[in-house]
Amino acid sequence: MKAIQIKQTGGPEVMELVDLPVPQPKSNEAVVKIQAAGVNFIDVYNREGRYKAPLPLVLGQEAAGVVSALGSDVGGVAVGDRVAYTSVPGSYAEYAAVPADRLVKIPAGVGEREAAAAMLQGMTAHYLTHDTWPLKKGETALIHAAAGGVGLLLVQMAHNIGARVIATVSTEEKAKLARAAGADEVILYTQADFEAETKRLTGGKGVDVVYDSVGKTTFDKGLNLLRPRGMMVLFGGSSGAVALLDPLVLTQKGSIFLTRPSLGNYIATAPELQQRAAAVFGMIRDGKLKLRIEHVYPLAQVQQAHRDLEGRKTTGKLLLLP
């Protein structure tokens, strides 16, 4: 089978298209014939070595496809079932062996490409808005990178809850996408200081929560925008890692909270995974969550996909098609 493998960490050029044996399932695994694989910043972090993983490594942590083989102890899924998964390495390939308890069946009314686009980013937006800081109607959220893959889903979910959404984006084109997703206010951070603008928009009161996937360039100002006992939710670092922080700063800024969550801790058990995926798929099926699949690439064009993602040129979701 064809797969994208790295033998060393580095830039996009370290990703190679290689031939590997089709995996055989262990007793608890199912083999999935992959129809579409999601491209995410965690893949970039693995490729760069920011997140450590044993080498050589087949990249990718999200996919949807059809079950083609089962291990001896697997129940709950059958050969021919349409399934999706995330947070299991090796999805940049034609086939992947996946622990069966990490698979979610794709319901009728949701396509494989939609499922691949929704697993990591959709469930991330869901846990951020429903668990990390359970947003309530009337609260105000500041969402950075609001036209990105997670950003557009976050804006929609926050809007559907009834929260006021202040979104930051880099271009007018992205501003239109954020508004269409339900943002109440959009700040072009390339033209205005988002800290000053957010203070103006909130009458100096600040926001209840900041959802920040950007990191280095936005973090410090974001802390200044939280109301007392508000929460900074730092869930990514597309601009780089943030500087070390003295916890006393949290006291000085109003006994605020800081969390650095990741999806794995919010889908740790099989029941929680199934419930969260079902909630997201239900939103898609019912038209409450609109996915923006911006670009699909053949597997061989993975280097371009990563360059596009890292260049912040993209809005919505990127998929690889084996």
Q: Of the residues 260, 281, 307, which one is the last residue of a structural domain?
A: 260
Check residue 240 and give its pLDDT.
Answer: 85
Q: Cis bond leading into 228, ω under 30°?
A: no
140 and 253 co-located in one domain: yes
What confidence score (pLDDT) does residue 34 get? 98
So what's the pLDDT on residue 113? 96
Q: Are residues 212 and 296 in the same domain?
A: no
List of residues 6+ apart from 178 with CB closer than 8 A: 146, 147, 151, 152, 155, 167, 169, 186
DSSP 8-class letter at 35 = E
Write down the pLDDT at residue 314. Answer: 74
Instruction: Report pLDDT for 167.
Output: 98
Model confidence at 149, pLDDT cuts 50, 70, 90, reads confident
User: Dihedral sign, CA of 281, 282, 284, 289?
Assistant: negative
Q: How far is CA 241 from CA 187, 216, 238, in A?
A: 23, 5, 8
The answer on 273 and 254 residing in a single domain is no
- Residue 276 belongs to some domain of the structure: yes
- The alpha-carbon radius of gyration of the chain (Å, integer) is 20
**What pLDDT band is residue 183 in, cutting at 50, 70 and 90?**
very high
Check residue 161 and give its pLDDT.
98
> In angstroms, what CA-CA distances link 127 with 153, 197, 211?
12, 27, 12
Per-residue pLDDT at 192 exceeds 80: yes
pLDDT at residue 130 tops 80? yes
Q: Are residues 99 and 25 in the same domain?
A: yes
What was the pLDDT predicted at 41?
Answer: 86
Residues 306 and 248 in one domain: no
User: Which H or E run includes 34?
Assistant: strand 29-39
**Mind listing the pLDDT tens digit for each residue in 18-64?**
999 999 999 999 999 999 999 998 899 999 998 899 999 999 999 99
Mean pLDDT within 162-173: 96
Is 26:73 a contact under the CB 8 Å cutoff?
no
**Of the candidates 260, 278, 307, which is a domain's last residue?**
260
**202 or 312: which leads in pLDDT:** 202
Across 192-220, average pLDDT: 97
Least confident of 40-44, 94-98, 247-251: 40-44
pLDDT digits (tens, 9 = 90+) for 266-320: 999 999 999 999 999 999 999 999 999 989 999 999 999 999 998 877 777 999 9
CB neighbours of 94 closer than 8 A, spacing ≥ 6? 1, 2, 3, 22, 33, 34, 299, 322
Same domain, 112 and 149: no
Same domain for 55 and 93: yes
Q: Which range marks the domain in which residue 77 is found?
A: 2-120+268-321
Answer for the pair 298, 304: CB distance below 8 angstroms, yes or no.
Answer: no
Residues 255 and 312 grouped into a single domain: no
**Mean of all residue pLDDT scores within the chain:** 96
Say what percent of the chain tops pLDDT 70. Answer: 100
Q: Assess whether pLDDT exceeds 90 at residue 198.
A: yes
Tokens read off for 170: 């880099």
Domain count for the chain: 2
- Interval 153-169 mean pLDDT: 98
Using DSSP bridges, classify how beta strands 95-99 and 185-188 pair: parallel, antiparallel or unpaired. Answer: unpaired
Q: How far is CA 274 from CA 52, 106, 127, in A?
A: 28, 11, 13
Q: Which residues contact 191 (CB under 8 A, 6 or more apart)?
A: none
pLDDT at position 294, please? 85
Rounded mean pLDDT, 140-154: 95
Give the neighbor-by-neighbor strand order of the sheet with 164-169: 185-188, 164-169, 140-143, 207-212, 226-234, 257-259
Q: How is residue 277 written in tokens? A: 């995926």
Q: Which pLDDT does position 238 carry in this prediction?
A: 83
End-to-end CA distance of the chain: give it in Å, rounded.
Answer: 10
Q: Are residues 143 and 175 in the same domain?
A: yes
For residue 137, is pLDDT > 90?
A: yes
